[in-house]
Amino acid sequence: MKKILALAAAGMLAVPAHAEELEVALEIPRLRIAEYHRPYVAMWVETESGKTAATLNVWYDTDAKGEDGRKWLPDLRTWWRRAGRAMTMPADGISGPTRAPGQYRVRHASGSKPLSALAPGNYRLQVEAAREVGGRELVTIPFQWPPRRAATASARGTTELGTVRLITRP
């Protein structure tokens, strides 16, 4: 530890001034239905007034056979109206393929996209899922940025999403 501190003091080790972190843990539930399609999922941060501050992740069919999977992004209605229609997909570091039922974690640190432009204040994490021949669901979790101390908040979906947990760390 002393060696690390000495290297940092000598300017030989990069130590971030602050490295706040936002982690989203979410569950895509297994549904017992005849025709199952993986859901499209969008995760974004919005201000208390409902303005999009940052899109964190968009999972969609990036390998659609015979058609462009972006065609169905408007099914994520809330995200699409607030931010999606203005974005070009695929978006580096944001877009990715749909996920099978299971537990997933995504992390974003301050100073890196998409959180680099997030000003201090009160926000809401929005997680929306939409599935072909299925439903659509939106889960909201309020939080403060930057976090003063480590905090965890969660919400639970009823159909397309299971538990969504937001962990913020200073």
Decide yes or no: CATH 1.10.10 for domain 18-169: no
Bridge partners (DSSP) listed for residue 128: 42, 138
Among the listed residues 154, 156, 157, the one whose alpha carbon sits nearest the alpha carbon of residue 165: 154
This prediction has a pTM of 0.87
DSSP state of 39: P
Listed by start position, the domains of the chain span: 18-169
Contact 28, 161 (CB under 8 A): yes
pLDDT digits (tens, 9 = 90+) for 55-93: 999 999 988 766 788 999 999 999 999 999 999 998 988
Q: Is 69 helix (H, G, I), strand (E, B) or coil?
A: helix
pLDDT digits (tens, 9 = 90+) for 123-170: 999 999 999 888 999 999 999 999 999 999 999 999 999 999 999 999
